[in-house]
Amino acid sequence: MNEISKIEPAALRFEAPPSTSLLAHARHVVAENPVTGFAFGLFALILLAAIFGPWLVPYDPLASNTNSALQGPSAAHWFGTDQLGRDIFSRVVAATRLDFSIAVASVALVFLLGGLAGVMAGFFGGWVDTLVGRIADTIMAFPLFVLAMGIVAALGNSVTNIVIATAIINFPLYARVARAEANVRREAGFVQAARLSGNSEWRLLLTQIVPNIMPIMAVQMSLTMGYAILNAAGLSFIGLGVRPPTPEWGIMVAEGASFIVSGEWWVAFFPGLALMTAVFCFNLLGDGVRDLVDPQRRN
Amino acid sequence: MNAPPLLDIRNLTVEFATRRGTVQAVKAIDISVGKGETVAIVGESGSGKSVTSYAVVRILDRAGRVADGSISFSGIDLVGASEAQMRDIRGREISMIFQNPRAALNPIRKVGRQIEDVLLQHVRATRATAREKAIEALEKVRIARPQERYDAYPFELSGGMCQRVVIALALACQPQLLIADEPTTGLDVTTQKAVMDLIVELTRERGMSTILITHDLGLAAAYCDRVVVMEKGRVVETAGAAEIFRHPQHPYTRKLMKATPRVGMSLHDLLPEGAPASGTAAASAPARAPGAGPLLLVENLVKEYPRPAQGSFLARLAGKAEKPAEPFRAVDGIGFSVERGETLGLVGESGCGKSTTSMMLNRLLDPTSGRILFDGEDIGAIPARRFAASPFRRRIQMVFQDPTDSLNPRFTAERAILDPILRMGAIRGGAALRARCEELAQLVGLPVELLDRFPHQLSGGQKARVGIARAIALDPDLVILDEPTAALDVSVQAVVLNLLDDLKQRLGMSYIFVSHDLNVVRLLCDRVIVMRSGQIVEQGSAEEVLGAPKAAYTKELLTAIPHPPA
């Protein structure tokens, strides 16, 4: 029926790169960079501990046994016991769920609020941009950890407030990244084309801009996860937020700190190691996540 | 009898390691360039012409390597040379000019300084004489007021000016061989002519050899002694410039020549032999409401942009800026009309206001003053922000210049084509939408099985088709074509231009065709408007304006097009 379609040169079809499945792409990303594979493995381990940890541990993380207080690592107690005779391995594993949840919740919150505010600032410009910019500047004017301390102290000592405080101090980071990314795409050809297709400005924002800045936001989220865990542990360390005897890495390090001098290093060492591993894992994950979600990299 | 060639490439094979195994980008080619000779390497994207030149100066990226063959340059083996030797050769013996001159210059260093850097690096000048020699170099590439321009930053210079600076850089050390990789792509025709004339004159004067890498057969033939045609990594033909135009031997050369628009040919002549005649389906054009008067009438259209405040940085900081300068008029009171079913060409060089005009016509930009009457209604009065909701939106659509940039990387071809229908169309339901999408794909010649692909999985020509299908999805009355083929190879351009013409006749649309390429405009347009600095210089029928131009500027534009030897 159409003459032009018949003269389609065979070369045009030949030129198009073949598509790749997500799984095959993931395999390639991991094969190309073994560090990414390692980070994903570590992440799976953390996830496993967070979900199933409390059922897998050999001892009740809260049960104290003064007879076996402050014992070094052994076959019975892999990471040793603390001053109340609680099994440190069980406590470290059980704490994963709480620390991980705080980090995920705060990152999700700041991604929604900071990301959206930043995208709006970059896309609409004008007074929205000014407003978001000034809010971010105000937050950045404080030393961030001190600000988090202040927020938790003012709002009250609870896990919810740690989540809120961690989200607030990360707000400028998300708002700025999202703003910059949205701003460069504001006048992109595909956005103009969508405008011609009759999309409203809000729909442009949500269907054209947001999906295209997801790769960079995913990297950002992975990096702040580590920071959020550190921040939550830090607040607990100084006695804000989670309260003992709840197993939590920050509290455990704080409690163990006083025993380092007397030679019982394992009380603080193993929760600290867990904390470090988690932060390390999320930082490594950033690059891998970008490679995985960026459609341009998929051929 | 023959002196040994300056550059001798023998049996060169370049491989790239990719995810799907090694790919041979250049396959066993032989090219030689004699002393003082100008050789063009012509080919479409993916032909391996740039890779060949990168192999010569050994700047292939890490995945690429010379798998076989030899490159000898005045007796030196370039394939086996050490990196230290290559550093010495690059710039001093062989230098390169790249496509985008602005990207080739350091944006935060004065251009004069950049020339000095090269002179000092290769010990062609001392600290004491560097400045003087740099100014001399600027003078040689005919930059007016070289003393002043020495202190200019690249962003203060025009594209053509920057390319002259790059040429000055390339020639500063008097190399024996100049490799120019698409040196004028992205420049206006008049600038292209000036730059090419300059390159040829300077290299001839110094007895240098030149390799010109280009996709433009006309440019190659007009400026070079010999033309090497490459296709898919192979040299398919080598011949003298005049010879290749008179008696092209290889079918690919013939196809390439045929697809290059020239004076005195019709749109259909661009297609390879044996292609069916287009335009036979004109009778099937849907009956459009005849309506009174022209489809589009533009009256005294103006777009002004505020100029940044003058005065020094400190004065501005202190709020003591002088009173704001006169606003800059990008479009300065133009008026014209588009009849129903007509194709109007909007021609001019970069900065003439043609893009601003098209953005105002498709209502993405608000005019400062003037009227845009579409079917008798002043659509210029509807703010651009709210135009998406206007019933006129579906009647004015656009095909963008860059097919890659104008497709959302996260939408499949189908989703992109259906976007306007989903927002403004009447069709609902998955099956009906898919059917319409397949119908549109067939109309533009996009294989239906490609509809589920993402833009990065499509070729340039296929992406252009997706963009066209999207623009015609709602059966608009007016389509603005903003250089729709500027980013495409000539053979793909030939097919796309024919497709556009065919669609117009089939669907009875009107086109505004924005372009800098007069040869293309001549083929497609009924009437032509020539713009310069925001004003209309000349308008009339395409034959009149391009055949017997009245305005001096139009004449200048026409003579600047490279004419291959007849």
Higher pLDDT, B479 or B428: B479
If DSSP codes are grouped into helix, strand and coil, which group holds residue B478? strand
Contact B278, B501 (CB under 8 A): yes
A9–B442 C-beta distance less than 8 A: no
Nearest CA in chain A to B276: A3
User: How sure is the predictor about B471, in pLDDT bands with cuts at 50, 70 and 90?
Assistant: very high
Higher pLDDT, B72 or A263: B72
A2 contacts chain B (CB < 8 A): yes
Backbone angles phi, psi at B58, to 5 degrees: 55, 50
- Section B197-201 average pLDDT: 88
Specify the pLDDT at position B241.
85
A195–B419 C-beta distance less than 8 A: no
**What are the chain B neighbours of A218 within 8 Å (beta carbons)?**
none
pTM: 0.79
A28–B442 C-beta distance less than 8 A: no
Choose the closest CB to A7 out of B271, B406, B411: B271
Residues β-bridged to residue B226: B39, B240
User: How sure is the predictor about A1, in pLDDT bands with cuts at 50, 70 and 90?
Assistant: very low
Residue B81: count other Cβ atoms within 10 Å of its Cβ. Answer: 16
**What are the chain B neighbours of A6 within 8 Å (beta carbons)?**
276, 445
- Section B498-514 average pLDDT: 89
Residue B409: count other Cβ atoms within 10 Å of its Cβ. Answer: 17
Top residue of B20, B232, B456, B481 to mutate, by most chain A CBs within 10 Å, is B456
**What are the chain A neighbours of B458 within 8 Å (beta carbons)?**
16
pLDDT in tens, A177-206: 999 999 999 888 899 999 888 888 889 999
A296 contacts chain B (CB < 8 A): yes
Specify the pLDDT at position B313.
63
User: How sure is the predictor about B458, in pLDDT bands with cuts at 50, 70 and 90?
Assistant: confident
Specify the pLDDT at position A20.
57
A21 contacts chain B (CB < 8 A): no
Asked whether residue A3 carries a pLDDT value surpassing 80, the answer given is no
B495–A199 C-beta distance less than 8 A: no
pLDDT in tens, A153-176: 899 888 899 999 999 999 999 999
Which range, A68-72, B393-397, B402-406, is most confident? B393-397
- Is the predicted ipTM greater than 0.85, yes or no? no
CATH no. of B292-305+328-412+475-560: 3.40.50.300
Backbone angles phi, psi at A282, to 5 degrees: -70, -35
Residues β-bridged to residue B211: B39, B179
User: In terms of DSSP bridges, do strands B369-374 and B94-97 run parallel, antiparallel, or are they unpaired?
Assistant: unpaired
Please tell me the distance from the alpha carbon of residue B529 to that of residue A290, in angstroms, as a whole number: 48
Choose the closest CB to B19 out of A7, A28, A212: A28
Terminal CA-CA length for chain A:
35
How many cross-chain Cβ pairs, A to B, lie less than 8 Å apart?
131
Contact B433, B427 (CB under 8 A): yes
Helix, strand, coil percent values for chain A (each to nearest 5): 75, 0, 25
pLDDT in tens, B264-284: 777 777 777 666 554 444 444
Specify the pLDDT at position A83.
78
Any idea where the domains of chain A sit in the sequence?
22-297
Please tell me the distance from the alpha carbon of residue B497 to that of residue B491, in angstroms, as a whole number: 10
| CATH architecture designation of domain A22-297 | Orthogonal Bundle (1.10)
**What are the chain B neighbours of A16 within 8 Å (beta carbons)?**
450, 453, 457-459, 462
Choose the closest CB to A190 out of B271, B280, B407: B407
Terminal CA-CA length for chain B:
30
Specify the pLDDT at position A2.
39
CA B333 to each of CA B306, B346, B355, B370: distance values in angstroms, whole numbers, following the listed order? 17, 15, 15, 7
pLDDT in tens, B78-106: 888 888 888 888 888 898 888 788 888 88
User: How sure is the predictor about A107, in pLDDT bands with cuts at 50, 70 and 90?
Assistant: very high
pLDDT in tens, B13-23: 988 887 667 88
Asked whether residue A118 carries a pLDDT value surpassing 90, the answer given is yes
Higher pLDDT, A69 or B76: B76
Q: Where in chain B is the domain with CATH 3.40.50.300?
A: 1-82+208-260, 292-305+328-412+475-560
Specify the pLDDT at position B386.
86
Specify the pLDDT at position B527.
92
Choose the closest CB to A212 out of B394, B409, B423: B409
Q: Which of A241, A219, A217 is nearest to A229 (CA)?
A: A241
User: How sure is the predictor about A138, in pLDDT bands with cuts at 50, 70 and 90?
Assistant: very high
Specify the pLDDT at position B353.
86
User: How sure is the predictor about A133, in pLDDT bands with cuts at 50, 70 and 90?
Assistant: very high
Q: Which of B24-28, B311-315, B397-401 has the lowest mean pLDDT?
A: B311-315
Asked whether residue A18 carries a pLDDT value surpassing 70, the answer given is no
Asked whether residue B397 carries a pLDDT value surpassing 60, the answer given is yes
Please tell me the distance from the alpha carbon of residue A29 to that of residue A32, in angstroms, as a whole number: 5
Specify the pLDDT at position A7.
38
Nearest CA in chain B to A188: B405
Choose the closest CB to A12 out of B409, B462, B467: B462
Helix, strand, coil percent values for chain B (each to nearest 5): 40, 25, 35
**What are the chain B neighbours of A7 within 8 Å (beta carbons)?**
271-272, 275-276, 445, 495
CATH no. of B1-82+208-260: 3.40.50.300
Q: Which amino acid is at B279?
A: G
Q: Which of B36, B47, B28 is nearest to B6 (CA)?
A: B36
Instruction: Give the E-state strand segments of B282-428 in sequence order.
Output: 296-305, 328-338, 343-347, 369-374, 377-378, 396-399
B277–A211 C-beta distance less than 8 A: no
B461–A12 C-beta distance less than 8 A: yes
Q: In sequence order, which ranges of A57-143 are alpha helices (DSSP H)? A: 88-124, 126-140
Specify the pLDDT at position A12.
39
Q: Which of B126, B133, B137 is nearest to B171 (CA)?
A: B137
Q: Which of A4-18, B52-66, B342-356 has the lowest mean pLDDT?
A: A4-18
- Section B412-429 average pLDDT: 88
